[in-house]
Amino acid sequence: MIDFNKPCHIGKEETAIQQAIANQKLSGNGSFGKKCTDWLENQLGCEKGMLTPSCTAALEMTALLTKSGPEDEIIMSSYTFVSTANAFALRGASIRFVDVEPKTMNISPAAIEAAITEQTKAIVVVHYAGVSCNMDAIMEIANRHGLWVIEDAAQALTSTYNGKPLGTIGHFGTFSFHETKNITCGEGGALIINHRDAIERAEILQEKGTNRKQFFKGMVDKYSWRDIGSSYLLSELNAAYLSVQLEHTDQIMADRMQMWQTYYEGLRDMETISLPYVPDNCTHNAHMFYIKTDRRSELIDYLKEHDIMAVTHYVSLHSSHAGKTFGQFVGKDDHTTAESEKIVRLPLYYGLEEKDVDHVISHIKRFFEI
């Protein structure tokens, strides 16, 4: 049986967790946490990285940092994970879902422009499958209208756009270390702050609305309640696991890229399906290999009969119960629904073997020959 995903495990995480226990510091912002945020700040070249319990939590922080509220509209694509919208719906903001570009499944800049009103506060972009949105066009629109840009880069760690790491282009970027992502610690995430003025408040929001961080830096002689906030810290036990994974990022990404390329080369000649598209000015991290077909459920059933786990992906948010309650689609749904119903994600994880990928390819070919 070929699973769709297995959580990445290098084999050295256990030692790091034991070290965290020996350090007798298990709560957030300890030495393993620092190792991880140093990695993020150095490797991505960003102003500030903070570890959070999830990408969901990091998105919630961006909703607080942009002071999004009931008067505000937030623009995003309808083809995304619920957390992208939920973080802002929690603050009472209304969600304006817009269409994607079919080749990448990323938000359409023209659709963003058409959805902007006096109430628009922010644009949240999702780099689907680790492939960048059209950031030049999006930043130009945002700057012209004075809007915040949040990159939901949950799937896009180490991917680049015009040579710049994703998550470092908008005002904020968020990453996920959920077990389904390339680099993991079970549940975990990060907030990247590229807007310097937001750093101090972010540190307060993360620490339940207190200035505890300043207290530990020796900047104040006692800490107190300063603002709203929550517990947006990642435990040291998770950070220990994560620190090992981050150290092995090159190895993990290279392994996934080899599998991705094998799929691409193996399937590129098939005219009945379409494959992922990566624009020339983008590099990606092999987060996902998907194909598009009009015979999706038949294909998934066929592969399952042959012990291969392939899966669908997002159901457009504007068609969901909560999506209709907290937002609405603006403009025409030319591509979101139609294209999302064609997507089949194929098995891809660290440690998947070349022969398994070849096996999946041959079954896909056999299916379409019937």
Ligand X SMILES: *Cc1c(COP(=O)(O)O)cnc(C)c1O
Contacts of 298 (CB under 8 A, 6+ apart): 367
Cβ 273 vs Cβ 292: under 8 Å: yes
Residue among 32, 35, 37, 59 nearest 48 (CA)? 37
Residues classed as catalytic: 181
CB of 301 to ligand X, least distance (A): 25
d(CA 289, CA 298): 19
Q: Which is nearer to ligand X, 56 or 262 (CB)?
A: 56
**167: closest CA among 199, 214, 201, 135?**
135
Q: How far is the CB of 366 from ligand X (least distance, A)?
A: 31
Interacting residue ranges for ligand X, rule: CB under 6 A: 54-56, 80-81, 83-84, 126, 152, 154-155, 176, 178, 189
CA dihedral 144, 148, 151, 152 (to 10 degrees): -140
Q: How far is the CB of 173 from ligand X (least distance, A)?
A: 12
Q: Which is nearer to ligand X, 83 or 194 (CB)?
A: 83
Residues 6+ apart with CB under 8 A from 197: none
Closest to ligand X by CB, 109 vs 189, is 189
Residue 81 CB, nearest approach to ligand X (Å): 4
Length of the chain equals 370
Q: Which amino acid is at 129?
A: A
Tell me whether residue 89 or residue 126 sits nearer to ligand X (CB atom): 126
